[in-house]
Amino acid sequence: MLPKSAAVLIWVLGIVSFSFTSAQTINLPTLKPGIFEASARIEIDAPLLDVWNVLLDFPAYSEWNPFVRSQVVADHFRVPTPDQVVEEDRRLIIKVQIPPLQNPVDANSPSNPFHSQVSLENITHIDVGNRRMAWRAIFLPEQLLDSERWQALSTSEEGKTLYEAREIFRGPLSHVVDALFAKGLQDGFDAQAVALKTRTENQ
Ligand SMILES: *[C@@H]1O[C@H](CO)[C@@H](O)[C@H](O)[C@H]1NC(C)=O
């Protein structure tokens, strides 16, 4: 058996190396660590503004997004807003497929009812200057389950657009989410990144 201090040291090193690997992002802010996370990054051969516009065009998500099949901007009473303008402190009603549908999808691709989930989120950041956006789930007390999803764009050295996404789950109930959905969620992030690339490079 290891002496206690050695065990603690190994544990600390484990945390440090974990935070190093997960912190290697270009344009995402530093986020408080959680129990688990899903993330994606992909390089896109299209102008940053085109990708930004596709990301913010929620009504068109059903035409290309195999993971987020519907994302509706709503007011504080969960009533969809007629303008669908994406603003901080508005709500989002998000319908996802976990695991995602098979790429490619279009507006008529049927959802799998067994894989459908709906969540209510708060738009916490629309940072046009830094090309970042984020939302946070509001379904349970934050102490039990807190999930925060960030997406960001930047221009790479080769002049391509880098898309980065990361969602962190915190709180004791995240262990349950982790056990049930971590793999499907990660597949969803990957599938959305690939579909975003295809959509923006071909438009
Ligand atoms: C939603 O996000 C906005 C902007 O960050 C914040 O001011 C507001 O307090 C949040 N509302 C809720 C219910 O979390």
What per-residue confidence (pLDDT) applies to 7? 58
Rounded distance between C-alpha atoms, residue 138 and residue 32, angstroms:
18
State the number of CA atoms in the 13 A half-sphere of 18 facing the CB.
12
Residue having the nearest C-alpha atom to atom 5 of ligand 1: 124
How far, in Å, is the centroid of ligand 1 from the Cα of 93?
A: 15
Phi, psi of 40 (to 5 degrees): -155, 155
Instruction: Name the 3-class secondary structure at 12.
Output: helix
Spatial separation of the C-alpha atoms in residues 88 and 124, rounded to whole Å? 5
The pLDDT of residue 141 is 81
Nearest CA to ligand 1 atom 8: 89
pLDDT under 50: residue ranges of the chain: 16-23
DSSP code for 160: P
Rounded to an integer, what distance in angstroms lies between the CA atom of residue 157 and that of residue 140?
Answer: 41
pLDDT of residue 21: 46
For residues 60 and 53, give the distance between their C-alpha atoms in angstroms, rounded to a whole number.
11
Q: What is the CATH number of domain 27-202?
A: 3.30.530.20
pTM confidence score? 0.87
Question: Residue 11: what pLDDT?
Answer: 56
Residue 8 has what pLDDT? Answer: 58
Strand, coil or helix: what is 166? strand
70 CA → ligand 1 middle, Å? 22
Q: Which pLDDT value is given to residue 9?
A: 55
Calculate how far, in angstroms, residue 56's C-alpha sits from the geometric centre of ligand 1: 19
Q: Any idea what DSSP says for residue 18?
A: H
- Ligand 1: distance of its center to the CA of 162 in Å? 27
The finding on whether 87 has its CB within 6 A of some atom of ligand 1 is: no
Domain boundaries, the chain: 27-202
Please state whether the peptide bond connecting residue 82 to the residue before it is cis, i.e. omega within 30 degrees of 0.
no
Query: Which pLDDT score, from 0 to 100, does residue 16 have?
Result: 47
Ligand 1 atom closest to the CA of 125, numbered from 1: 5
